């Protein structure tokens, strides 16, 4: 730990988000998952939902940390990813039928992935960003959809797919941030943390401390 540096809480239990932070030399002091109602509000736009949920996660985790006496003065980092076709928000698929419906909708067409970021300082200051990535899938055959469903990779994933896995082979074109689609846009994350005075570059100067190196 860097003497005097603020602690960092990642408001997530996602191994993907943790791995992305580790990739840039950041090892959060605490991992505290957020449990918020992710139901869209009436007529809510996808970009608004991603921003709202990221903020809600950060706020909830700040409260949970202080109640538990853990990292009460830490910086909190939260993110949420929403997949949409036009104004239609796709679910985080929990059943095979949901995943199949998502894949058939995405087949052969473009969609957007909105990733909201929220950083709360120990003083309560809010810093937010929204990253918009556009993706086009190839036309998927019934055999491909059935095989993907059998893989189970879709379970709990926004839009019913995980781009960092098998579904990466469905992508014809992407415009935006790959890392944002996985779960955490690194460029914007670094910018927000630096704005809060978090020493993002410390481990870059000490390669032995980098995770996975």
Residue 173 pairs in a beta bridge with 136
Indicate the pLDDT class of residue 73, thresholds 50, 70 and 90.
confident
Cβ burial of 42 (10 Å; 0-12, 13-18, 19+) is exposed
Cβ–Cβ under 8 Å, residues 13 and 33? yes
pLDDT at residue 213 is higher than 50: no
Q: Where are the alpha helices (DSSP H) in the chain?
A: 15-23, 46-68, 96-106, 142-151, 178-182, 186-195
Marked catalytic residue, from 29, 80, 97, 132: 80
Domain boundaries in the chain?
Answer: 8-209
Question: Phi and psi of 19, rounded to 5°?
Answer: -65, -35
Q: Is the pTM of this model over 0.85?
A: yes
Per-residue confidence (pLDDT) for residue 209, from 0 to 100: 57
Cβ–Cβ under 8 Å, residues 145 and 100? yes
Range from 3-7, 69-73, 139-143 carrying the lowest mean pLDDT: 3-7
Average pLDDT over residues 147-165: 97
Higher pLDDT residue, 18 or 73?
Answer: 18
Is 73 annotated as catalytic?
A: no
Average pLDDT over residues 54-81: 92
CA 188 – CA 144 distance, rounded (Å): 34
Q: How many residues appear in the chain? A: 213
Q: pLDDT of 35-63, one tens digit each?
A: 999 999 999 999 999 999 999 999 999 99
CATH topology of domain 8-209: Maf protein (3.90.950)
């Amino acid at each position: 730990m860097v003497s005097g540096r603020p602690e960092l809480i990642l408001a997530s239990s996602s191994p993907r988000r943790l791995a992305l932070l580790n990739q840039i030399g950041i090892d959060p002091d605490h991992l505290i998952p957020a449990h918020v109602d992710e139901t869209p509000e009436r007529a809510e736009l996808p970009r608004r939902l991603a921003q709202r949920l990221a903020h809600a996660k950060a706020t909830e985790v700040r409260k949970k940390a202080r109640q538990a006496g853990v990292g009460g003065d830490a910086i909190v980092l939260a993110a949420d990813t929403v997949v949409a076709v036009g104004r239609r928000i796709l679910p985080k698929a929990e059943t095979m039928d949901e995943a199949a419906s998502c894949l058939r909708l995405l087949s052969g067409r473009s969609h957007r992935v909105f990733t909201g970021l929220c950083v709360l300082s120990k003083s309560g200051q809010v810093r937010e960003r929204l990253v918009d990535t556009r993706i086009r899938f190839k036309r998927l055959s019934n055999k491909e959809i059935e095989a993907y469903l059998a893989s189970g990779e879709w379970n709990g994933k926004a839009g019913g797919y995980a781009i960092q896995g098998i579904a990466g082979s469905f992508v014809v074109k992407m415009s935006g941030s790959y890392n944002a689609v996985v779960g955490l846009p690194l460029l914007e994350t670094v910018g927000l943390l630096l704005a809060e005075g978090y020493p993002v570059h410390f481990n870059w100067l000490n390669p032995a401390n980098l995770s996975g190196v």
